[in-house]
Structure 1
Amino acid sequence: MTATTPRPADAIDIATIRATCERVLWSPSRFSTEETERLNSLVLGHIQLLVPELSSVTSHLSADDQDVAAHVLAETERRLQLPRNTPTYLWDMAVQCRAIVTLYDWAKCAPEPSPV
């Protein structure tokens, strides 16, 4: 894939999403119940924002990366159906969110596919 200039008018704050994921994934201690609920809401909100955005730009990715994106999106959908009160739910969803934002960032910098 060849990187080019990102497309304009990108309303998604990638840095904030990455920071939220890092907070969850690299915290040396457990969160309070209130902080867990707050972070859960943040991560799930990021995912709800990113899923349709990633879906709309996957055609900009190589075939292999499109397969990865399809897998990540399917796994995210599966995990969204799981009970949210498990000890690992927040961490698992932060992993999914980080994967989605990485693929989205990569896809939005990729050149648009040529019309056939």
Structure 2
Amino acid sequence: MDASSSGTAMSGAAAAPGSTGAGPAEVDADMIRQTYEAVLWGAPPPPVAERAHLNDLLLGHVQLLLPEVADNAVRMQGEQQRTAVHVIVRTRSLLAEGADKSPQAAASYARDLATQCRALLTLHQHPGLLDDRESYP
């Protein structure tokens, strides 16, 4: 599977992994988990070409999960909601920063992106109790 990336945080130009561009893509939790685990705990570090591919996949996963978690965050409660807001804000900031060109900075950015991807997937899969009111103040 291949993921396109546009370098912008939430542009519609980037397709999420597995996306055909028509309608929302389905979340493949196993693939997302394998991708962030390869970056966070893979040893030894992958070759440069594979790192670029993993970064593209991570970016696609984050772009898929971020709006879904943001949509649910308004319905979350308590610490779950505060955590979701923190993750959303930090992820958007990370995406806006982009990756630095130096290899060391790029590796650090990939780990940060993988960490945010892991947090987003957790919030997506375990949003806690959701408020089902029809309207919000």
- Structure 1: gaps spanning 5 or more residues: 1-9
Q: Does 1:34 pair with 2:46? A: no
The TM-score, its normalising length taken from structure 2, stands at 0.69
Q: Does 1:103 pair with 2:118? A: no
Higher mean C-alpha deviation, range 23-32 or range 34-43: 23-32
Cα gap change, 1:114 to 1:51, in 2 (>3 Å): closer
Q: Percent identity?
A: 33
Deviation of 1:13 after TM superposition, in Å, equals 1.0
The Cα offsets for residues 22-81 of structure 1, whole Å up to 9 and x where unpaired, read as 111111112211011100000000000001011111244222111100000111111112
1:89 maps to which of 105, 109, 132: 109
Task: Give the conservation status (yes or no) of the 8 Å contact 2:91–2:116.
Answer: yes
The Cα offsets for residues 79-104 of structure 1, whole Å up to 9 and x where unpaired, read as 11224132311111000000011011
CA RMSD of aligned residues (A): 1.8
Cα gap change, 1:77 to 1:28, in 2 (>3 Å): same
Q: Which residue does 1:65 correspond to in 2? A: 80
Counterpart Cα distance in 2 of 1:92 and 1:104: 18
Counterpart Cα distance in 2 of 1:15 and 1:28: 19
Counterpart Cα distance in 2 of 1:28 and 1:60: 39
- Structure 2: gaps spanning 5 or more residues: 1-24
Number of corresponding residues: 105
